[in-house]
Structure 1
Amino acid sequence: MTNRELEFLKEHFSGDELETAKARVESGEPLAYVIGEWYFWDETFLLNDACLIPRADTEHLVEHGLKRLKRGSYFADLCCGSGCIGLTLLKHTENTRCLFADISEKALEMTKINARRIGVYDRCEFECTDINNSAFFAKKEFDMILSNPPYIPTDVIETLVTVKHEPRIALDGGEDGMDFYRLLINEYLPLVKKGGSMLLEIGYDQKEAIEELCQCSVYRDYGGNARVAVIEK
Structure 2
Amino acid sequence: MNRREAIDRTAARLTPLYDPREARNLARRIVAEYAAASLSELLTDPAREVEPEAAERLEAAAGRLAKGEPLQYILGAADFYGHRFAVREGVLIPRPETEELVDWILREEPQAGRMLDIGTGSGCIAASLALERPGAEVFAADISETALETAAANCRRLGARVTLRRADALGAEPGVQDLTEAFGQGFDLIVSNPPYVPESDRAAMHPNVRDHEPAEALFVPDDDRFRFYRAIARAGRRMLRPGGALYFEIYEHAAGELARLLADEGYEEIELREDLFGRPRMARCRRATSE
Structure 2 length-normalised TM:
0.74
Q: Which runs of 4+ in 1 moved over 4 A?
A: none
2:233 aligned partner, one-letter code: I
2:34·2:57 contact (CA, 8 Å) conserved in 1?
no
Which structure features the higher share of helix residues? 2
CA distance in 1, matches of 2:252, 2:123: 23
Distance in 2 (alpha carbons) for counterparts of 1:119 and 1:106: 20
**C-alpha distance after superposition, 1:46-100 (max 9, x if no partner):** 1111111111111121012102434571111100000111111111113112111
Structure with more contact order per residue of length (Cα contacts < 8 Å, sep ≥ 6)? 1
When residues 11 and 53 of structure 1 are mapped into structure 2, their CA distance, relative to the original with a 3 A threshold, is farther
Amino acid corresponding to residue 10 of structure 1 in structure 2: Y
Counterpart Cα distance in 2 of 1:189 and 1:29: 40
Instruction: Tell whether the 8 Å contact from 1:9 to 1:22 is kept in structure 2 after alignment.
Output: no
- Superposed CA deviations along residues 94-116 of structure 1, whole A, max 9, x for unmatched, are 31121111111111111111111
What residue is the counterpart of 2:244 in the other structure? Answer: 196
Establish whether residue 163 from structure 1 lines up as the match of residue 209 from structure 2. yes
CA contact (8 A) 2:73 2:88 kept: yes
Q: Which residue, out of 181, 184, 209, partners 2:257?
A: 209
**Residue in structure 1 matching 2:167, options 114, 120, 129:** 129
Corresponding position: 1:89 with 2:129: yes
**Aligned-partner Cα distance in 1 for 2:166–2:214:** 16
Structure with max Cα Rg: 2
Tell me: CA distance 1:214–1:7, structure 2 relative to 1, closer, same or farther (3 Å): same
Aligned to 2:109: 69
d(CA) in 1 for partners of 2:248, 2:134: 22
Kept in 1, the 8 Å contact 2:122–2:147? The answer is: yes
**Helix, strand or coil at the partner of 2:220:** coil
Q: Distance in 2 between matches of 1:195 and 1:209?
A: 22
Please state how far the C-alpha of 1:168 moved relative to its aligned partner: 0.1
TM-score, with length taken from structure 1: 0.91
The answer (yes or no) to whether the contact 1:60–1:227 under 8 Å persists in 2 is no
Q: Is the 8 A contact 1:71 1:93 kept in 2?
A: no
- Contact 2:65–2:71, Cα closer than 8 Å, also in 1: yes
Q: Structure 2 stretches of 5 or more lacking a match? A: 1-13, 15-23, 37-52, 172-177, 264-269
1:35 to 72, 75, 83: 75
Asked if structure 1 preserves the Cα contact closer than 8 Å seen for 2:165 and 2:182, the reply is no
SS of equivalent residue, structure 2 residue 252: coil
In 2 relative to 1, CA 128–7 (structure 1 residues): closer, same or farther, beyond 3 Å?
same
* Distance (Å, rounded) in 1 between the aligned partners of 2:183 and 2:258: 24
Aligned to 2:45: none
Residue 20 of structure 1, aligned match among 40, 60, 64: 60
Query: What's the RMSD between the two structures over aligned residues?
Result: 1.9
How many residue pairs were aligned?
231
Partner residue in 1 for 2:196: 151
SS of the aligned residue for 1:158 comes to helix
Do the aligned partners of residues 77 and 202 (structure 1) sit closer, same or farther apart at CA in structure 2, a change above 3 Å counting?
same
